[in-house]
Amino acid sequence: MSCAQYFALSVLVVMGAAPMATAADRQAESWAASCAACHGTGGYSVGGMPALAGRPASDVLTRLRAFRAGEGEPTLMHQIARGYSDVELARIATVFAAQPAP
Q: Where are the domains of the chain?
A: 25-97
What whole-number distance in Å separates Cα of residue 96 and Cα of residue 38? 14
C-alpha distance from residue 16 to each of 1, 6, 63, 83, 89 (Å): 20, 15, 35, 31, 26
Which of 9-18, 25-34, 73-82 has the highest mean predicted lDDT (pLDDT)?
A: 73-82
Give pLDDT, residue 12. Answer: 43
> Considering the chain, what is the average pLDDT of its residues?
85
Q: Give yes or no for residue 39 having a pLDDT over 70.
A: yes
What whole-number distance in Å separates Cα of residue 24 and Cα of residue 55? 21
CATH topology classification for 25-97? Cytochrome Bc1 Complex; Chain D, domain 2 (1.10.760)
Q: What pTM does this model have? A: 0.76
